[in-house]
Copies of this chain bind each other. A is one copy, B any other.
Amino acid sequence: MTAIAILGHGVVGSGVAEVLRMNADSIAEKAGTALTVKRILDLRSFPDLPYADLFTTEFDTILQDEEIRIVVETMGGLHPAYDFVKACLQSGKSVVTSNKELVAAKGDELLKIAQEKNVNFLFEASVGGGIPILRPLAQCLAGNEIEEIAGILNGTTNFMLTRMVQDGMDFESALKLAQDLGYAERNPSADVDGHDACRKICILAALAYGKHVYPDQVYTEGISAITPTDVHYAEAIGRVIKLVGRVSKHGDRIQCMVSPLLIPEENLLAQVGDVFNAVQVRGNAVGDVMFYGRGAGKLPTASAVVGDVIDCAQHLAERKPLGWSAGDPAYVMDHADSESAFMLRFEADDHRTLIDALDAVFGEVEVVGCGGENPRELAVLTDRISERKLSEGLAQLGQQPVSRLRLL
C-alpha cells in the first residue's frame, strides 16, 4: 500500500479522489500496490462524504506523516501551493500537480529540488488537462529536435470561438454563454486574455527545449478584440480563428507567443471545436503529430493526475529523468522580430489609393474582400513580415487597421 495526500478538494482534487476509488482495482494492478488516500487538506469540511474522516486543515499533519510518499497538489494559484509543494519535495515526498501557474512560475526550481532529493515532481495535468502530452513529448519524441509546437490550450476560449464561428455570436454573447454553462469564470481574464494558454505554452517550451520560459517573457494576446467581421473574412479565405500558443526554435533562442491565429480549414487544429484542446508538435524526424482531447474538467484532469501518481508509485526509489535549466532574459526572442503573414482590415473611402500605398509599404498585398455591410471596409493579406516591419509600415502609412490577425 502506498499512502497519498491530496492538497485541495476542489474540482480536480475531488476528481482525483473519485478516480482513485472508481478504478481502484485496475490502478492497484498497474501500480503494483494499492494507492490509498490517507489525508486531504482543505479548509472546508465535507461531512457527507464517505471519506469525511480523511480531511485536515493542518498541512503539517501531511508533511510530517512519513507514510505519505506521494502528495497531489490541486489547490491552484501560487500561494500557498508553492510553499507546500516545496516543503513536500524537500521532505522527500514525490509531488504530482495540475497547477499550471505553479509549474510555469517555479518549475525549474521545483524540479531541481526533486532531483536533489531523488523524488519525482510530475505535472502532466498542467497542460491539456487529460490529454497525454508532456510525457509523450519528453519520452516518445526524445529522438527528435522539436521544430515547432502549436496548441489550442484553453477550452473556454475555444468554446467561445466555436460559437462565434458556427453560430455567428459576437464576443460578449459567447462569453455570457460560456459563463452560463460554467466554462468561464465571472472574471474571465485568465482565459480570454490568453494568460492560461501562456502558462501552458511556457511549460511545453521548457520541456521541449530544456530551459525555463517565464510567462512575462511571452507576448500574449487574447480574443476579446475578435469581431464577427473578422470571422467572416477568415471564412472567406478558408481559415478558422483559433487562440493558439506556439513556440519554435531559432538557433539558441526561441520564439514564443500566444495570439489568435487564422488556421487553414484543412489543418486538423481548425477542426478542434468546443471545449476540446489539441497540441501539434513538429519534430525533425516524426513530422507533425497531434494530441487531442478534453483540456479541462474534473475527471479528465484527474485522469492525468492519477496517471502521474501511478508513475510515482512505480518509481518510488528512482527519479524520472525530467528537468530543465533556469531561464534567462535573452533566451526568448524579441516579439518585434517574430514573423507572420497578416490579415489586415482597414476602413477607407478610397480603396485603390490605400491598396497602392499598402503595396508600396509591404510589397504586393492580396485583397481578400471589401465592402459588404460596411462599404468602407477593405481586408488584405500581407506576405510574412516581422512585427517590427508591420508596425513601422503602418506608421509610415499613417493609417491603423481596424484589426490585424496572424496566419498560421
Residues of A near any B CB (own CB < 8 A): 15, 19-20, 22-23, 26-27, 29-32, 124, 130-132, 135-136, 139-145, 210, 268, 271-272, 283-294, 297, 299-300, 302-307, 309-311, 314, 318, 321
Closest to A134 in B: B140
Tell me which of A130, A210, A288, A299 has the highest count of chain B C-beta atoms within 10 A of its own C-beta. Answer: A130
For A300, list chain B residues within 8 Å (CB). 285-287
CA distance A320 to B398 in the complex (A): 63
Contact A27 B302 (CB under 8 A): no
**Contact of A143 with B286 at beta-carbon distance under 8 Å, contacts A135-B136, A268-B292 already known:** no
Say yes or no: B311 contacts A283, CB within 8 Å.
Answer: no
Report the separation of the CA atoms of residues A291 and B289 in the bound assembly, to the nearest whole angstrom.
Answer: 7
Q: Contact: A130 with B286, CB < 8 Å?
A: yes
How many copies of this protein are present in the complex? 2
Instruction: Specify which chain B residues have a CB less than 8 angstroms from the CB of A307 in the assembled complex.
Output: 139-143
Residue numbers in B under 8 Å from A210 (CB-CB)? 29
Is the Cβ of A299 less than 8 Å from the Cβ of B286?
A: yes
B residues near A136, Cβ cutoff 8 Å: 132, 135-136, 140
A-B contact pairs, 6 of them (CB 8 A): A23-B284, A130-B283, A268-B292, A286-B299, A287-B297, A314-B321
Which residue from B20, B132, B283, B302 sits with its C-beta under 8 Å from A140? B132
A124, A136, A283, A286 pick with most chain B CB within 10 angstroms: A286
Given contacts A135-B135, A139-B135, A145-B23, contact A288 B293 (CB under 8 A): yes
In the complex, the answer to whether B135 meets A303 with C-beta atoms within 8 Å is no
Q: Evaluate contact between B294 and A292: CB separation under 8 angstroms.
A: no
- A291–B136 CA distance with the chains assembled, in angstroms: 10
Query: Which of A271, A285, A287, A300 lies at the interface centre, i.e. has the most chain B CB atoms within 10 A of its CB?
Result: A285
Interface centre among A309, A310, A314 (most CB of B within 10 A): A310
Tell which of B272, B292, B310, B321 touches A143, judged by Cβ atoms closer than 8 Å.
B310
When C-beta atoms are compared, the residue in chain B nearest to A23 turns out to be B145
**Candidate in A143, A297, A305 with the most chain B CB atoms within 10 angstroms:** A143
Q: How far is the CA of A297 from the CA of B310 in the complex (A)?
A: 33
A31 CA / B302 CA spacing, docked (Å): 30
* CB pair B285 A130 closer than 8 Å: yes
Q: Are A292 and B293 in contact (CB under 8 A)?
A: no
Kindly report which residue of chain B lies nearest to residue A304, judged by CB atoms. Answer: B140
Q: How far is the CB of A126 from chain B (nearest CB, A)?
A: 13
Q: Which residue in chain B gives the minimum CB-CB distance to A308?
A: B140
**Given the complex of chains A and B, what is the CA–CA distance between A27 and B271 in angstroms?**
34
With A19-B143, A136-B132, A143-B19 as known contacts, state yes or no: A303 contacts B291, CB within 8 Å: no
Contact A143 B309 (CB under 8 A): yes
* Given contacts A140-B136, A287-B293, A321 and B30 within 8 Å (CB-CB): yes
Q: In the bound complex, how far is the Cα of B19 from the Cα of A283, in angstroms?
A: 11
Q: Please indicate which of the listed interface residues A20, A132, A135, A140 has the most CB atoms of chain B within 10 Å of its own CB.
A: A140
- Does the CB pair B285–A303 fall under 8 Å? yes
Cβ contacts under 8 Å, A310 to chain B: 139, 142-143
Q: Can you list the 8 inter-chain pairs with the closest CB atoms, starting with the nearest?
A: A143-B306, A132-B140, A289-B293, A132-B136, A130-B286, A285-B303, A286-B303, A290-B292
For A306, what are the chain B residues with a Cβ–Cβ distance below 8 Å? 142-143, 285
Cβ contact of A22, chosen from B271, B285, B299, B303, cutoff 8 A: B285
Which residue in B22, B268, B318 is a CB contact (below 8 Å) of A318? B318
Within the complex, what minimum Cβ distance (angstroms) separates A144 from chain B?
Answer: 6
Cα-based distance from A124 to B141 in the complex (angstroms): 11
With contact pairs A290-B292, A314-B321 given, residues A143 and B27 touching in the complex (Cβ less than 8 Å): yes
CB distance from A115 to the nearest CB of B (A): 12
Q: In whole Å, how far is A150's beta carbon from the nearest beta carbon of chain B?
A: 14
Chain B CB count within 10 A is highest, among A29, A142, A287, for A142
Chain B residues within 8 Å of A303, by CB: 141, 143-144, 283, 285-286
